[in-house]
Every structure is written in C-alpha cells, then in structure tokens.
Amino acid sequence: MKNTTSTILQAKENGNKIAMLTAYDYSTAKLLDEAGVHMILVGDSLGNVILGYEDTISVTMEDMIHHCAAVARGAGQAMVVCDMPFMSYQTGVYDAVVNAGRLMKEGRAQAVKLEGGKEVCPQIQAIVSASIPVVAHLGLTPQSINAFGGYKVQGKTEAAARKLIEDAKAVEAAGAFAVVLECVPAKLAKLVTESVHIPTIGIGAGPDCDGQVLVYQDMLGMFTDYKPKFVKQYANVGAIIKDAVRTYMNEIQEGSFPAEEHSYKIDDEVIGKLY
Ligand code: KIV
C-alpha cells in the first residue's frame, strides 16, 4: 500500500512509529523502498553528502528537482517528500507556492518540507491551499546556520523551549501534516510530540517522537566528513566499498578480471581471418 498523508497521520493515531530515510537517486530509493521504509526524504542535505558543499545554502531548485525525480522513479510504497531549498520560500508566499508546485510537477514529490515556525506559516498555509502537503522542520534548521552561528542543540532555555512548542502548534494550525524536530533535547521533543496531533519525526530528538529520520550515508557509514552525536551507524558500507574497489584493482593488476564468464565470444574462423 502506498504511504500517503492519511497513512502517516494514521500511524500516530495507532501508535505505530514512522521510519524515514533520505535518498537522492533511483537505485538507493528502490533499495529503501523494497526494505519497507515509510517515507523517503529528498533532503537538501544532498548539498553536503552528494555535492560536497559545506552547508545546504547553495542547493538550488534545479538540484532538488533533478534528484527528486530520480527518487520518485525508484519509490513504490514509500511517500516521497522533497525539501524546499534555501530562498525558494523565505522570499514570500508567491515564490513558495510556485516552487512547491515545481517540486510536485517536475520532481514528482508527494509533499514538500520547509524549515521554520510561525514566520513561515503564511507560506505553509498557501502551499497547503494549493493542495500540496507540507512537512514542517523545527529545532536546528540547517538553512539558518549563519543566523544560529553553528550546529547547536536547540530549545535548551525555557524561552526557546516555549517557542519551539508554540512553533509546532503554529505549523500544525497552518496545515502541516508532520513536523521534523532536529537536535532538540529528548524530553522537550516528547512534550512537543504530546502537544500536537500531527506526527513528529525526530533526528537527534530522542526516542519519543512519532518517527525517526536519518541521512542514509550517515547510517551506512558512507559519509565520514563529520559524525553528529545522534547518528547510529547500522552498517559500514563505506568500508565494504573500499574493500571491493581494492580487490577490483588487484584483480586487474594480476589479470584475473575479467575472467571468461565476463567476456564475449567470437567464432575462431572469423578472428583467424583478421590475423
Ligand atoms: O536535508 C535533510 O536531510 C534533512 C534531514 C536531516 C531531516 O532535512
């Protein structure tokens, strides 16, 4: 069964946890989908893990559409959510609706995600009014990295914690059907989760969120430039790739690859005439 806004909202009502992972290409999306992940996020983290930028600021609409369309072709039952990149919605309601529409029409996303609380509620409302489902993103919002002055845990003071709860209620009231909580103390994330009817999806926000999301390169040991505290590495695919590549190089050197089973045949009579 295809996951939709209804199945995701239902999951919270039924107390079933939601599993979300990022993907940026067709073959990875297919693998995650076949494994049964409920939601695939085409995150603007592709700026870091795919394009090698130091942050997400330079990611463009064209980048997001290109990768989202590839993911959408690989996703079957998983719901595909695409990030709205920096300055594709902050500039106003009109830009937000036009760009969200492009991610749906050209990227074939089923929902868009954008960062921010009360300040982006007019955008959320307008996008939802255009029949485009929205996931909100609170806490550490990487597009605001220059305003934050670094990647820090959010909501630690009473005022900041109260603001986070108010923002979660505001994005719900504006029409978001889920909210990502990034780098938020676990007890505060629990309180937020109990304060809204929409599912919370945590990344560095403890076990009491309604779901979890990780960047797949992080959880598979494929990206080692830095490792946030909240990442659990479930496999070391990076080491497997390096081992396989070294074996491939050795076999080329010693002449054992390609073997007969990897080679094409030609009639001896034909080849004989060429000598
Ligand atoms: O871009 C991304 O991958 C994200 C997740 C970290 C939630 O926004």
Average pLDDT along the chain? 98
What pLDDT is recorded for position 200?
98
Predicted local confidence at residue 55, as pLDDT: 96
Q: How far is CA 65 from CA 32, 165, 203, in A?
A: 19, 32, 24
Q: What percent of the chain has pLDDT over 70?
A: 100
Clarify whether residues 251 and 220 are in a common domain: no
Of 2, 33, 1, 4, the C-alpha closest to 177 is 4
Same domain, 119 and 138: yes
Question: Residue 264 — φ and ψ, nearest 5°?
Answer: -95, 150
pLDDT tens-digit readout, 39-91: 999 999 999 999 999 999 999 999 999 999 999 999 999 999 999 999 999 99
**Do residue 189 and residue 176 come from a single domain?**
yes
Given a contact cutoff of 8 angstroms between Cβ atoms, the answer to whether 62 and 88 are in contact is no
Query: Inter-axis angle of helices 158-174 and 121-129, to 10 degrees?
Result: 20
The residues near 19 (Cβ < 8 Å, ≥ 6 apart) are 36, 37, 38, 39, 211, 212
List of residues 6+ apart from 175 with CB closer than 8 A: 124, 125, 128, 129, 134
Beta carbon of 63 within 6 Å of any ligand 1 atom: no
Residues 140 and 264 in one domain: no
Choosing from 21, 22, 115 the residue with most ligand 1 atoms within 8 A of its CB, the one to mutate for a pocket test is 22
Q: Are residues 174 and 260 in the same domain?
A: no
The span from the CA of 237 to the CA of 252, in Å, is 23
Residues 117 and 207 in one domain: yes
Are residues 131 and 267 located together in one domain of the fold? no
Residue range 141-148: average pLDDT?
95
Length of the chain: 275
Give me the catalytic one of 115, 182, 254, 269. Answer: 182
Question: 43 CB under 6 A from ligand 1?
Answer: yes
Q: What backbone phi and psi angles, to 5 degrees, belong to 214?
A: -135, 155
Give the Cα separation of 94 and 184 in Å (integer): 31
Q: What percent of the chain has pLDDT over 90?
A: 98
Q: Please report where in the chains the tokens 């107390």 appear, as a residue.
A: 15
Domain span at residue 248 reads 240-272
What tens digit of pLDDT does each residue of 248-266 get? Answer: 999 999 999 999 999 999 9
In CATH, what number is assigned to the domain containing residue 189?
3.20.20.60
First to last CA, the chain: 61
pLDDT in the model for residue 102 = 99
pLDDT given at position 96: 98
Q: How much is the pLDDT for 258?
A: 98
Does the beta carbon of 22 lie inside 6 Å of ligand 1?
Answer: yes
148 and 181 in a single domain? The answer is yes
pLDDT at 252: 98
Look at residue 210 in the predicted model and tell me its pLDDT.
98
Dihedral sign of CA atoms 61, 67, 70, 73 in order: negative
Mean pLDDT of 136-158: 96
Does 218 contact ligand 1 (Cβ within 6 A)?
Answer: no
**Same domain (yes/no): 120, 232:** yes
Q: How far is the CA of 46 from the centre of ligand 1 (A)?
A: 9
- The position carrying tokens 């959880």 is 219
Q: What pTM, to 2 d.p., does this model score?
A: 0.97
Q: Which of 20, 179, 213, 219 to mutate to test the pocket of ligand 1 (most atoms within 8 A of CB)?
A: 213
Q: So what's the pLDDT on residue 141? A: 97
Please provide residue 210's backbone torsions phi and psi, each rounded to the nearest 5 degrees. -75, -15
266, 228: one domain:
no
- Alpha carbon nearest to ligand 1 atom 4, residue: 43
Q: Are residues 222 and 246 in the same domain?
A: no
> Is 182 one of the annotated active-site residues of the chain?
yes
Which residues are 180's β-sheet partners? 137, 201
If one counts the domains in the chain, the total is 2
Confidence at 240, pLDDT banded by 50, 70, 90: very high
Q: Is residue 22 located within the same domain as residue 43?
A: yes
pLDDT tens for each residue of 186-235:
999 999 999 999 999 999 999 999 999 999 999 999 999 988 999 999 99
CB of 175 sitting under 6 A from ligand 1: no
